[in-house]
Structure formats: structure tokens, C-alpha cells
Amino acid sequence: MRRRSRLCALAVLLAASVGAAPAIAGVADSTASAAAGSTASARPDSVGADTLALRLLPVQTLGNAGGERAILAEPSGIAVDAFGRIYVTDASQHRLVRFDARGTLLGEAGALGSGPGDLRRPAAVAAVGSLGVAVLDRENLRIVLYDLFGRLVGVLTDLAALEDELGRVDPVALAADRGGALYVADADRDRVLVLDFSGRYVRSLGGFGAGAGSFRGLAGVATGPEGGLVTTERTGARVQRLDAAGSPLRSWPLPVRTGRGRLAVAVDDSSRIAVADEVSGRLWLFDLTGRLLGARADLVSPRALTFAPDGSLLVAEGTAGRVRRFALEPAGTATPPGR
């Protein structure tokens, strides 16, 4: 009862701190109204990285960077709060690890298990308002809430309990909007589950299909600064932009293969969209119309992405046991020594 009371109190504080979710613009760009579900013409594998507008330059590495003990073994989710603090889920060590913006280890939480405070191969993590982070405890089929100091608040959503109503759920990605609502990518039924700030199920978006607003091989979900959604599909091999109601705004192709593996996605405050393919190790940066802005092809099993408040991009590389930060620099900028 005490833990439930803490959850309820936090939900009230979240609602007060973030207010209502921002209104969704019906048309986010000049072509969207005529191109709902349309595909951008240029494929991201048809343009050389040296001809693009932006370069992604590595400026920081966290985790497996030497020393007596690797801090991270298998980073699988990453989030950043408003203060620049970094939260990383480590799937093989079943824990949540916290760093400050400079990369200094602040602490860790969790252990293998299914009881209170335990995790079992945690995946995505998302900042929820300004008061906590939500962790997708994947094999325990639940979303667990921690405060910004890494202290357990409690179980926000029991996904297993929703299966009587929704059928089997296979959660592969998690995102949160500025209003505190949560979005879970369900790979089993190719849908996005929408939860309110208290963790209560609200509705489902999408479903299996090749049409606009449907998904085939749903592999990632992110929220935009105006409240819309961006999704990635492995079988469908595309990115889709949707409004918060699930209506399609635009789509464009991705050069990915069918099969398993995450297609991590993140959106910055300028609505630039980053996508990484865990299988090929490739990373693409698009504008909101699908135009390719930047790319890299040297990542090692990228499983999660997030943008930091300073505009840099953080990438969790699973089998490399590290998180790398990339600065987004205009093409033609001189590369500083050591990068």
C-alpha cells in the first residue's frame, strides 16, 4: 500500500509539473497533408556520407573504456534527463546505471530477479516528465519507475496483467512524451500501446499491415517535440511519422533486412530523427521530411539512441559494452585532434 501511495503521489506531481500534453499540429510540414503515408524519394543508402549536410563526430565514451571493471556489459537502453544525467539499462547485468553529463558513474540499481527492485534483461528506458525514469523490464513484462536518484518507486504498468484484455504482448521499445504518456512498441501484434502518465492503458495504435499507419516488424518508437510519434519497421523497412492519434503524416524507406534486431529511433527538439540498425551497425540522421542529413556505418550493435539537452546524440552499443556521444557538426568543419 505504501508503494502504491508513492506511485499515486508521483503521478499527481507529474501531472502538475508537465501540464497537459502539447497540442498536435495536424500538418507538421508543407508536404505532409498531401503525402500521408507517402515515401520520400531518396534512399539513405544512395547518398555518400561525404556529401551530407552534417557529420556525427564521436566526443565521449562511457562504459567499457578500460580499468579494472567494465562499467557496462550490455547497454540496451538510454535516456537523458533535463540536467544531462544519463541513465543506461544493462541487460546482461540486470540493472540501471546512472552517469552525470561528464560520464562519471553516479550509481546503479537493480539485480536479477522478479521481485520488487529486481530486473530481468531490462531494455528501453525513458525520462518521464522531470521526476523520474521508466524502465522496460522486458522479461518480467512490466514497466518500473525510478526517481532521478535511481531509487525504486514501484511498478508503473504490469504488462502481463494486460494480456487478458490485449492478448500476448512482446514489448521491444518504450518512449515517453512531454506530458508523461508512455508508448510501448509491441512486436507480437505490430501495435503501439498508449499508457497515460499513471501507467494506465488507454488505447492501441496501428496493427499488422503494409498501409500507412500500420506496421510490419515494428522495432522502435520515439516521440517528437510536438507530441507526435516516429516508428521504425524491420519487415516494412521504413520510418513512419504519425500524429498522437496514430494518423500517418509521412514515411520513407530504410535499407534494412528482415529478421530480428532493433531499429532504435530518437527525435531531437528540431524534429531531426536518428535511426540505428542493430544488425548492420549503421546510423542515419533525417530531417522530418525524410531527407538524409548525416550517417555513420561503424557502430557495434546499436540498441538505443537518445538526444541530450546540448543537442548531441548518445548511442548505446550493446555488444561493445559502451555508450558513445556524437556531436552533430556541419560538413566541412575541421575535425579536432583525437576524434
Interval 98-143: pLDDT, tens: 999 999 999 999 999 999 999 999 999 999 987 799 999 999 999 9
Classified as helix, coil or strand, 315 is strand
C-beta of residue 317 within 8 angstroms of C-beta of residue 277: no
The candidate with the shortest Cα–Cα distance to 217, out of 202, 232, 234, is 234
> What is the tens place of the pLDDT at every residue in 18-62?
443 333 232 233 333 333 444 444 566 655 556 789 999 999 999
The candidate with the shortest Cα–Cα distance to 265, out of 219, 322, 228, 210, is 219
Residue 196, burial from CB neighbour count under 10 angstroms (0-12, 13-18, 19+): middle
The whole-angstrom separation of Cα 140 and Cα 142 is 6
The whole-angstrom separation of Cα 12 and Cα 131 is 11
Task: Report pLDDT for 47.
Answer: 54
Task: Report pLDDT for 141.
Answer: 98
Averaged confidence pLDDT in the chain: 86
What is the pLDDT confidence band of residue 339, given thresholds at 50, 70 and 90? low
Task: Report pLDDT for 27.
Answer: 29
| H-assigned helices in the chain | 2-18, 163-166
Q: How far is CA 301 from the centre of its chain?
A: 15
- How many CA atoms does the CB half-sphere of 234 hold within 13 Å? 21
β-strands 302-307, 75-80 pairing: unpaired
The whole-angstrom separation of Cα 300 and Cα 295 is 14
β-strands 313-317, 283-286 pairing: unpaired
| Mean pLDDT (whole number) for 73-90 | 96
CB atoms within 10 A of CB 27: 13
Report the percent of the chain where pLDDT is more than 90.
76
